């Protein structure tokens, strides 16, 4: 066996360079043209560029088309139950802060069945990177209106058109206390998608990225007006946010300088309903992470548990005293 | 156990002060049941708990039971509002709350009437009653007091009026808050408990507060003690069998929480629910001292999912809940079963279904614990039967969960949760703890679900282990954790998960039999009813009846030897605190009778005609009730053929 020193081992680890293939697992079974493919490509690129160790990386998902995501990553993955990706991911992160934890969730998973967890995950602000794959329809169960479906959407459960206004995931998220990172991307601008995913990864706290995503199967024409008119995509840029490359700037001319620390402005932008804002809406790196104050800083050794337990036992122990008492009574 | 000497028959009203030198009647007893009741927030709980602790320190056996109203602040002086504590004090070990009360201290007559109506007081029971209401400014209150008092006296209760608040007023500004310690003093005198131990107990109870609080309470204690010495012409002595080992005096929920700490688990995720929450309260206070944490999730589902995530990524985690919360966790429990993620779920059962009786005890969740979730979802189900068991069960549960990659459901109930019983102080062992999580590389070719063909077991890969990367899924999956809809693979995986129960079952010892190995009647129980069943069985055996009992700790899988044991008895019945149809009801016959949970399970597995007796009165089953029930059953079994039963 070839023996190496610890330093050599470390050096080798540092030098080990992983390629895209090292993060790829299986052939995605999403439909051709599905926005999930673009998200997968951006995330695999992120893993490679950041040199994430596959064994120290966990993708947690719920149920739905988007939630197949972990199966296509050669990392650890957790494909759980509908709506509960966030609490599962919180448990993973709380138990193992050394792991990079990502969450892939859809508009049904996050904004409908898992909505309570979504609100509270924002408030906990654990160090997780959350991708909301929002195709505005239930895909895996074959076309039912989702909370983010535009009003009037004809689907199998709303054959005469949905009657409720769509829920806006950005304004909801921006309305929750402790929100620390909110961004929006569209699947058809890969360069910005990658930049946003990367910024989200680097934020310490819960980064919430809504990715407007095409569903060629059930909503094939929904985004055509935005695809065909780059001016209906409003690119947000700032010294503290995204910087737009010259090449991209020539296509996407509708740009807005927006300071990600300005929550009021972020809410205003998020509430607009014509152009799709793309970029970082809000970013406050100072919001404390739940795990930081929740996790004990003590080293959990058997000795610590022993002494902690003994201290508790002491509180509740009755020592045999009857003998002494009797002696005292007799003396009296 | 009965009292050796009956209570005194002559008691002078307290209003007549007696000279100190008067001779007192001292009665020596084997045991007595005392209760202290008041409106919520008047301190009867604390008084009762202190009394229990003092008696335990004297070496007496005790069992304390909380009397809890359903509301936080029920209206004052209401029949349904009794809040307090019931202490069974014995010479030897006490295993349950016992039968009716021998002596009660009541802070008002209304809460007392509630207890009378619930038939919780023994005929002729001694009552120490706060007399301030007799002269209350509100004529209606004064009238209702007099009416109740006179009725109680007429009913044969020995009512002693005590001007508690007035006595305390002379000593402290806030007499309403101090009178519980005055009463404690009276009780210490009545039961010949050592005053110095009582003082120490007060110091322990109020240890967190400042010195003056302790001083005030010790003064009130002494005043009550002196008052009783002067004004009561009787007293009791319950000689303590000497206890030579240090003991813990805690309730079942505290024992659970300490068990969580001792098991090496690090994360408890919960959502508030009665009666489970007090375990999490205590754990929230102390878990971080051993490096653990309690996460109060946004709901029961999230609490379970959080625990599942934490377990998946490291050491087994625990979620603690009660009935309705347990229902909400079902889908996440199914996920843990499917993904073979170790998980401990504690269900402190309460009265159900739905919101039911949140503060009451019941054993109604066994079937849902075993068969809950959906599809074939095998889980381990264990039930502690004593306070001590609550502690050790958590250590067992964690270990089983990790060894078998299974969900372990621990079923306690509202009775165990709030009752105190001393048990030998545990000696910590490092073997209780989980080993550090494995982060070594996974051998090449190893698979995340490499099911052993015989046991169904497979080693678990934990994130961080190089080479072990796979996606755990709730979908049907093969040995590589790849989604598989293949018929063969689906059956293979379901078989493996089921076999694990059999693998565990083969390691379990048969449950011991209390009493003789054969006879006329075998009584089978599980969970919190153990003490009452064994007490009733012992009493009947002392009369020469051929009855024994067996208590099941493992409900799923069930320990071996149960079938063989049952066949050595002429008749078998279970005693449970869940519903079973009454055979005497007009519509009920063999075709439609719904049996109690364990009876149903035993009948199905062993094809033995197991009968059952159960009640769902929200209270722990009383040994006296059981004694009558079992005696009747024995009479029926042993009656000559053809004679009317």
- Tell me which chain B residues have a C-beta less than 8 angstroms from the C-beta of A309: 258, 261-262, 290, 428
Cβ atoms of residues B265 and B398 within 8 Å: yes
Q: If DSSP codes are grouped into helix, strand and coil, which group holds residue A319?
A: coil
Contact check, Cβ <8 Å, A81/B332: yes
pLDDT for A9: 61
What percent of chain A shows pLDDT beyond 90?
Answer: 88
Please name which of A174, A184, A169, A180 lies closest in space to residue A279, comparing C-alpha atoms.
Answer: A184
Listed residue (B276, B249, B252) closest to B527, CA to CA: B252
Closest CA to B617 of B418, B419, B414: B414
Is the N-terminal amide bond of A37 cis, ω within 30° of 0? no
Question: What tokens appear for A31 in the block?
Answer: 């439909």
Return left, alpha or beta for A185; rule: phi > 0 is left, psi -120 to 50 is alpha, else beta. beta
**Angle at B439 (CA atoms; ends A11, A20), nearest 5 degrees:** 55
- Per-residue confidence band for A324, with pLDDT thresholds at 50, 70 and 90: low
Q: CB–CB of B469 and A323 under 8 A?
A: no
Nearest to B242 among A95, A312, A322 (CB): A322
Whole-angstrom distance, CA of residue B293 vs CA of residue B317: 10
Between A328 and B252, residue with greater pLDDT: B252
Mean pLDDT in residue range A15-25: 90
φ, ψ (nearest 5 deg) of residue B183? -65, -40
Give the Cα separation of B100 and B82 in Å (integer): 16
With CA atoms as reference, report the closest residue to B338 among B499, B474, B451, B457: B474
Question: How much is the mean pLDDT over chain A?
Answer: 93
Position A230 pLDDT exceeds 60: yes
Distance CA B95, CA B387 (A): 10
SS3 A233: strand
Look at B469 and A91 and tell me if their CB atoms are within 8 Å: no
Q: Kindly give, in sequence order, each residue whose CB lies less than 8 Å from that of residue B285, ignoring residues fewer than 6 positions away.
A: none
- Cβ–Cβ under 8 Å, residues B53 and B122: no
CA distance B39 to chain A (A): 27
Chain-centroid distance, C-alpha B436: 33
| Among B425, B322, B421, B416, CA closest to B368 | B322
Name which of B267, B291, B282, B292 is nearest B343 in CA terms: B267
Contacts of A96 in chain B (CB under 8 A): 313-314, 463-464
User: How far apart (Å, rounded) are the C-alpha atoms in residues B155 and B124?
Assistant: 8
CA distance A203 to A130: 11
Residues B554, B508: contact at Cβ < 8 Å? Answer: yes
Q: Do B246 and A320 touch (CB under 8 A)?
A: yes
Long-range contacts of B541-545 (CB under 8 A, 24+ apart): B541/B515, B545/B520, B545/B521, B545/B630, B545/B631, B545/B634
The confidence score (pLDDT) of residue B640 equals 76
DSSP string, B491-529: HHHHHHHHHHHHHHHTTPPPPPEES-SSEEEEEEEEGGG
Predicted pLDDT at B343: 98
3-state SS record for B40-106? CCCCHHHHHHHHHHHHHHHCCEEEEEEECCCCCCCCCCCHHHCEEEEEEEECCCCCCCCCCEEEEEE
* The pLDDT value given to residue B643: 56
B522 near B510, Cβ under 8 Å? no
B443 φ/ψ angles, rounded to the nearest 5 degrees: -60, 145
State how far the Cα of A70 lies from the Cα of A9, in Å rounded to an integer. 29
Element holding B573 (H helix, E strand): strand B569-576
Which is nearest to A189 in space by CA: A137, A240, A132, A244?
A244
Identify the pLDDT of residue A3: 58
Return the half-sphere exposure (C-beta side, CA atoms, 13 A cut-off) of residue B525. 29
Of A95, A296, A315, the CB nearest to B288: A296
Q: What would you measure as the largest C-alpha separation in chain B, in angstroms?
A: 90
Virtual torsion, Cα B411, B414, B417, B419, nearest 10 deg: -130
- Residue in chain B closest to A290 (alpha carbons) equals B295
Q: What is the pLDDT of residues A183-201, one digit of tens each?
A: 999 999 999 999 999 999 9
Distance from CA of B59 to the nearest CA of A (A): 6
Report the b/e string of B600-637 with b at 16+ CB within 10 A.
bbbbeebebebbbbbbbebbbbbbbbbbebbbebbeeb
Burial class (CB in 10 A: 0-12, 13-18, 19+), A48: middle
10 Å Cβ neighbour count for A174? 22
d(CA B431, CA B262): 10
**Residue B336 and residue B405 in contact, taking contact as beta carbons nearer than 8 Å:** no
Assign residue B316 a region (left: φ > 0; alpha: ψ between -120 and 50; beta: otherwise): beta
- Which residues are CB-neighbours of B111 under 8 A, at least 6 positions away? B37, B38, B39, B77, B78, B79, B81, B82, B83, B84
**B193 and B32 Cβ atoms separated by less than 8 Å:** no
Looking at the complex, report in whole angstroms how far the Cα of residue B241 sits from the nearest Cα belonging to chain A.
9
Alpha helices in B155-248 (DSSP H): 164-169, 175-190, 195-205, 211-231
**What whole-number distance in Å separates Cα of residue B611 and Cα of residue B170?**
60
Report B:466-525 residues touching A (Cβ under 8 A): 466-475, 482-483
Beta-strand runs (E) in chain A: 57-61, 76-79, 100-106, 129-134, 137-138, 144-145, 181-186, 207-212, 233-237, 255-257, 276-283, 317-318
Residues of chain B with pLDDT under 70: 1-22, 641-645
Please report, in angstroms and rounded to a whole number, the separation of the first and last CA atoms in chain A. 81
The rounded distance, in Å, linking the Cα atoms of B554 and B380 is 8
Q: Does B394 touch chain A (CB under 8 A)?
A: no
Tell me if chain A has a CB within 8 Å of the CB of B375: no
Residue A25 Cα, gap to closest chain B Cα (Å)? 9
Distance between CA atoms of residues A271 and A263, nearest Å: 12
Helix (H, G, I), strand (E, B) or coil at B466: coil
Reply yes or no on whether the pLDDT at A206 is more than 70. Answer: yes
Cα–Cα distance list, A46 to A29, A35, A101, A198, B55 (Å) = 21, 17, 13, 6, 67
Q: What is the pLDDT of residues A69-114, one digit of tens each?
A: 999 999 999 999 999 999 999 999 999 999 999 999 999 999 999 9
Asked if the C-beta of B332 comes within 8 angstroms of chain A's C-beta atoms, the answer is yes
pLDDT of residue A330: 58
Measured in angstroms, the CA of A253 and the nearest CA of chain B are apart by: 41
Chain B closest CA to A285's CA: distance in Å? Answer: 24
Nearest to A318 among B53, B269, B293 (CB): B53
* Complex confidence, ipTM: 0.94
Contact A302 B430 (CB under 8 A): yes
Which pLDDT score, from 0 to 100, does residue A304 have? 97
Q: Given CB atoms, is B246 within the 8 Å cutoff of chain A?
A: yes
Here the tokens at position B332 are: 């996440």
Q: Per residue, what are the HEC states of A91-111?
A: HHHHHCCCCEEEEEEEHHHHH
Its pTM stands at 0.94
> Which of B469, B474, B484 to probe by mutation at the A interface, max A CB count within 10 Å?
B469
- Confidence (pLDDT) at A17: 87
Q: Is the peptide bond before A32 cis (omega within 30 degrees of 0)?
A: no
Q: How many CB atoms lie within 10 A of CB A332?
A: 5
- Chain A neighbours among B 213-232 (CB < 8 Å)? none
């Amino acid at each position: 066996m070839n023996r190496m020193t610890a330093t050599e081992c470390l050096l080798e680890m540092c030098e080990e360079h992983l390629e895209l293939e090292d993060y790829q697992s299986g052939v995605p079974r999403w439909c051709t043209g599905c926005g999930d493919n673009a998200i997968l490509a951006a995330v695999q690129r992120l893993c490679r560029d950041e040199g994430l160790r596959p064994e120290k990386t966990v993708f947690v998902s719920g149920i739905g088309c988007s939630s197949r995501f972990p199966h296509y990553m050669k990392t650890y993955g957790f494909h759980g139950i509908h709506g509960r990706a966030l609490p599962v991911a919180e448990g993973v992160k709380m138990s193992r802060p050394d792991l990079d934890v990502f969450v892939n969730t859809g508009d049904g998973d996050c904004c409908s069945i898992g909505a309570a967890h979504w609100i509270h995950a924002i408030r906990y602000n654990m160090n997780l990177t959350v991708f909301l794959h929002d195709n505005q329809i239930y895909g895996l169960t074959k076309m039912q209106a989702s909370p983010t479906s535009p009003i009037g959407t004809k689907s199998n459960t709303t054959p005469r058109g949905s009657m409720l206004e769509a829920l806006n995931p950005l304004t909801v998220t921006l309305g929750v206390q402790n929100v620390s990172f909110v961004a929006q991307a569209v699947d058809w601008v890969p360069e910005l998608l990658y930049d946003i995913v990367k910024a989200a990864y680097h934020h310490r706290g819960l980064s919430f990225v809504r990715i407007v995503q095409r569903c060629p199967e059930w909503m094939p024409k929904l985004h055509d007006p935005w695809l065909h008119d780059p001016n209906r995509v409003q690119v947000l840029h700032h010294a503290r946010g995204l910087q737009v490359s010259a090449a991209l700037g020539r296509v996407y001319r509708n740009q807005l300088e927006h300071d990600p620390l300005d929550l009021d402005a972020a809410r205003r932008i998020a509430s607009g309903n014509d152009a799709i804002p793309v970029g970082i809406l809000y970013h406050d790196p100072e919001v404390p992470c739940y795990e930081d104050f929740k996790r004990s800083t003590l080293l959990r050794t058997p000795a610590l548990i022993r002494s902690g337990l003994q201290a508790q036992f002491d509180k509740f122990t009755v020592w045999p005293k009857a003998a002494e008492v009797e002696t005292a009574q007799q003396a009296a | 156990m009965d009292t050796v000497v009956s209570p005194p028959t002559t008691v002078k009203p307290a209003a007549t002060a007696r000279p100190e030198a008067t001779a007192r009647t001292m009665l020596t007893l084997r045991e007595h049941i005392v209760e202290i009741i008041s409106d919520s927030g008047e301190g009867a709980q604390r008084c009762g708990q202190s009394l229990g602790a003092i008696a335990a320190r004297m070496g007496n056996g005790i069992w304390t039971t909380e009397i809890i109203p359903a509301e936080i602040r029920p209206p004052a002086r209401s029949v349904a509002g009794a809040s307090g504590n019931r202490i069974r004090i014995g010479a030897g070990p006490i295993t349950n709350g016992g039968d009716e009360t021998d002596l009660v201290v009541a802070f008002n007559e209304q809460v007392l009437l509630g207890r009378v109506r619930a038939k919780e007081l023994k005929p002729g029971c001694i009552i120490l009653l706060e007399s301030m209401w007799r002269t209350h400014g509100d004529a209606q209150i004064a009238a209702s007091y007099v009416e109740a008092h006179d009725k109680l006296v007429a009913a044969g209760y020995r009512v002693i009026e005590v001007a508690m608040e007035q006595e305390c007023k002379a000593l402290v500004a806030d007499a309403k808050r101090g009178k519980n310690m005055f009463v404690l003093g009276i009780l210490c005198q009545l039961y010949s408990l050592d005053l110095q131990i009582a003082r120490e107990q007060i110091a322990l109870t109020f240890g967190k507060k400042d010195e003056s609080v302790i001083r005030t309470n010790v003064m009130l204690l002494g005043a009550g003690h002196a008052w009783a010495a002067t004004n009561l012409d009787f007293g009791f002595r319950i000689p303590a069998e000497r206890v030579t080992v240090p003991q813990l005096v805690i309730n079942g929920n505290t024992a659970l929480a300490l068990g969580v700490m001792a098991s090496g688990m690090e994360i408890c995720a919960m959502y508030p629910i009665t009666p489970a929450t007090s375990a999490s309260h205590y754990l929230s206070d102390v878990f971080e001292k051993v490096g653990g944490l309690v996460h109060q999730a946004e709901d029961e589902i999230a609490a379970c999912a959080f625990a599942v995530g934490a377990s998946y990524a490291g050491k087994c985690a625990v979620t603690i809940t009660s009935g309705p919360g347990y229902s909400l966790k079902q889908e996440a429990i199914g996920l843990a079963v499917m993904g073979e993620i170790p998980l401990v779920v504690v269900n402190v059962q309460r009265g159900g279904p739905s919101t039911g009786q949140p503060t009451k005890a019941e054993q109604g969740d066994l079937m849902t614990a075993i068969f809950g979730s959906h599809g074939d979802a095998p889980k381990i189900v264990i039930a502690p039967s004593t306070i001590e068991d609550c502690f050790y069960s958590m250590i067992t549960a964690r270990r089983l969960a990790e060894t078998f990659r299974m969900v372990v459901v621990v079923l306690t109930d509202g009775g165990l949760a709030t009752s105190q019983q001393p048990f030998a102080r545990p000696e910590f062992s490092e073997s209780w703890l989980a080993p550090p999580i494995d982060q070594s590389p996974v051998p090449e070719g190893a698979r995340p679900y490499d099911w052993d063909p015989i046991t169904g077991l497979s080693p678990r890969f934990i994130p961080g282990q190089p080479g072990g990367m796979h996606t755990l899924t709730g979908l049907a999956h093969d040995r590589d954790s790849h989604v598989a809809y293949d018929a063969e693979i689906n059956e293979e995986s379901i078989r493996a998960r089921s076999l694990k129960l059999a693998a565990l079952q083969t390691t379990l010892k048969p449950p011991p039999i209390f009493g003789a190995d054969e006879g006329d009647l075998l009584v089978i129980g599980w969970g919190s009813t153990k003490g009452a069943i064994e007490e009733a069985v012992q009493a009947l055996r002392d009369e020469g009846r051929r009855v024994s009992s067996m208590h099941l700790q493992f409900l799923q899988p069930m320990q071996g030897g149960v079938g063989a044991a049952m066949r050595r008895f002429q008749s078998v019945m279970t005693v449970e605190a869940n519903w079973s149809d009454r055979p005497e009801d007009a519509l009920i016959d063999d075709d439609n009778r719904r049996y109690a949970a364990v009876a149903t399970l035993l009948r199905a597995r062993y094809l033995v005609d197991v009968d059952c007796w159960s009640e769902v009165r929200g209270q722990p089953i009383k040994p006296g009730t059981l004694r009558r029930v079992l005696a009747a059953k024995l009479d029926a079994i042993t009656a000559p053929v053809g004679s009317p039963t």
